[in-house]
Chains A and B, each alone.
Chain A
Amino acid sequence: MAATYRTHMSIIGDILTTTRDEVPDETGASVTYLIRKANISYGRISKILETLVQQGLLEQTSSYRACKYKISSRGREFLQAYRGFREFAETFGLRI
């Protein structure tokens, strides 16, 4: 199967979807888990996670061994809106 280029927004969408739908436990998802699910490098995901926490879309929770991330209510709303805009762009055959 040919590799598909993912935009910055679609990576953010993937991260938020993972933290909403696929968290392994209640404390949230670890960076390692998110790297595996979103399929991006540590350097890149760190910057994105920092921005998402600053924007209030993700909540950072400290656990015994490392930081974990959970989607916030604002993040859920954003994800819903993002899907709407993605749908809008896709009707034009485009990606956001």
Chain B
Amino acid sequence: MEFALEIILNLVGFGVGLLIGIFAHIGFKNTGSPTLFRLTIAFLSISIGFGVVGLGYMSDSFFIHSGKIETEIQTLGIGIQTVGYFFIAFSHGIKSFFPKSRYLKSIVVPLFIIPGNSIEHIIRSISFILLVYGTIETIMSYMENRKTSTIFVASGLGLLALGEFLGWYSVVFPKSVLYVISISTKIVGLGALFVPISKVPLRGMKFGGNI
């Protein structure tokens, strides 16, 4: 039951990410904007990442029946999602990857060291940092433009970060409900990112060459 829920949640993540990615791609095709290109790569990567995990689990449970590829699929999917989170952070222009303050370093560095025995958890910690960066930058933008939709995006990125953190923390309680909570949090996060996009009028957006 829990396994089926994980598959469904991952496929929902795939769908939502794909919709946002397609929207960004239409924008890029029509305007040639590098920002929209980066957002296209970001959301298509996030979507593919969710898709790899969902379809991987599905094929394992229905066709392969090995029960051993779970970790590999998980690592691959999360790795692809991390590329997406990187491009969201990169769109804001990463000024410096690590904070200069040694007090902050003492918080950030353990995120890389503690899960040193697992590639999956290293990737999760990188995703977490990138998402926290994206959240902070988006909150800063909200301070400037005061748009409600920006709050949705900041919340979405924040929930994705929380989801990654919970997924990373599930190393302490493997096979627990924590992983399902992590995926659910990430789906709610993606949903929050989708809210402002759903309000953008989609009519009249069919153009050929970019300018």
Residues of A within 8 A of B (CB): 7, 9, 12, 51-52, 55, 57, 77-78, 80-82, 84-85, 87-96
Contact = CB atoms under 8 A, between A and B. Distances in A.
* Interface range on chain B (Cβ under 8 Å from partner): 35 or more
Interface in B86-101: 88, 91-92
Contact of A91 (B153, B202, B205): B153
Contact of B31 (A85, A92, A93, A94): A85
Contacts of A91: 147, 149-150, 152-153, 196-197
Given A51-B211, A55-B209, A81-B205, A89 B153 contact: no
Given A9-B31, A81-B204, A95-B35, 8 more contacts: A78-B30, A82-B31, A84-B200, A84-B205, A85-B31, A90-B150, A94-B141, A96-B31
Contacts, number: 89
Looking at A81, A93, A96, the one whose CB has the most chain B CB atoms below 10 A away is: A93
Nearest to B142: A93
A4 B149 CA distance: 22
Given A77-B204, A80-B204, A94-B92, A89 B35 contact: yes
A90 B88 CA distance: 13
A78 B211 CA distance: 11
8 contacts: A77-B204, A84-B202, A85-B31, A89-B39, A90-B149, A90-B150, A91-B149, A93-B145
Interface string B1-42: 000000000000000000000011001001111011001000
Contact of B145 (A9, A78, A90, A96): A90
B26 to A, nearest CB: 8
A92 B42 CA distance: 12
Given A80-B201, A93-B150, A88 B24 contact: yes
Contact of A12 (B27, B149, B211): B211
A11 to B, nearest CB: 11
B150 A96 contact: no
Contacts of B150: 90-93
Nearest to A12: B211
B138 interface: yes
A57 B32 CA distance: 15
Contacts of B33: 7, 9, 85, 89, 96
Interface in B145-172: 145, 147, 149-150, 152-153
A50 to B, nearest CB: 11
A8 B150 CA distance: 23
Given A82-B31, A84-B200, A89 B36 contact: yes
